[in-house]
Structures are given as structure tokens and as C-alpha cells.
Amino acid sequence: MSTFDMYKTKKKRAVDPNAPPRPNLLSHDKVIRDQKAILDTMERQIAILKSRVESLESKALTQNNYLSTLHQHVARASKKG
């Protein structure tokens, strides 16, 4: 063994051309960040839609109560007259 054997370049391993690309931690981190951003956006949309549904339910209940009261007054007036 000569003294320069340790400086020889190593042979590259054979790579399967049909194999999927090796995982890259930076690309995984980007995917995770993108998914977190999408989830944050969806959470904001859900919160907005939830408040809108609550508002519309309240409005419908108020209108229902108003119409019920109006119907009672009309029914009483028709009985009197």
C-alpha cells in the first residue's frame, strides 16, 4: 500500500435511473411551511364563515320572532273585527 492510496477518489455508486429522487430536507421543510400556510388560511376562512353563519342565524331568528308576533296581532285583529 502506498502512502498516496488514502488520497484516491472513491468510486461513485451506481445510480438507478428509474429511482425517485432522494429526499431533500429543505424541500420537505418548504412543503411543511406551505401546508401550514394553507391551514392558517383555511382556519381564517372558517372563522369568518362561522361568524357569518352565527350572524345569519341570529338574523333569521329575529325575523322569525317578528313574523310570529305580527301573525299573532293579525290573528287577534281578525277575531275582533
Q: Which pTM was predicted?
A: 0.57
Write out pLDDT tens, residues 19-73.
888 777 888 888 999 999 999 999 999 999 999 999 999 999 999 999 999 999 9
Predicted local confidence at residue 1, as pLDDT: 55
> For cell 331568528, what's the residue?
61
Q: d(Cα 27, Cα 1) in Å, to the nearest integer? A: 43
Helix extents (H) in 1-81: 25-80
Enter the DSSP assignment of 8: S
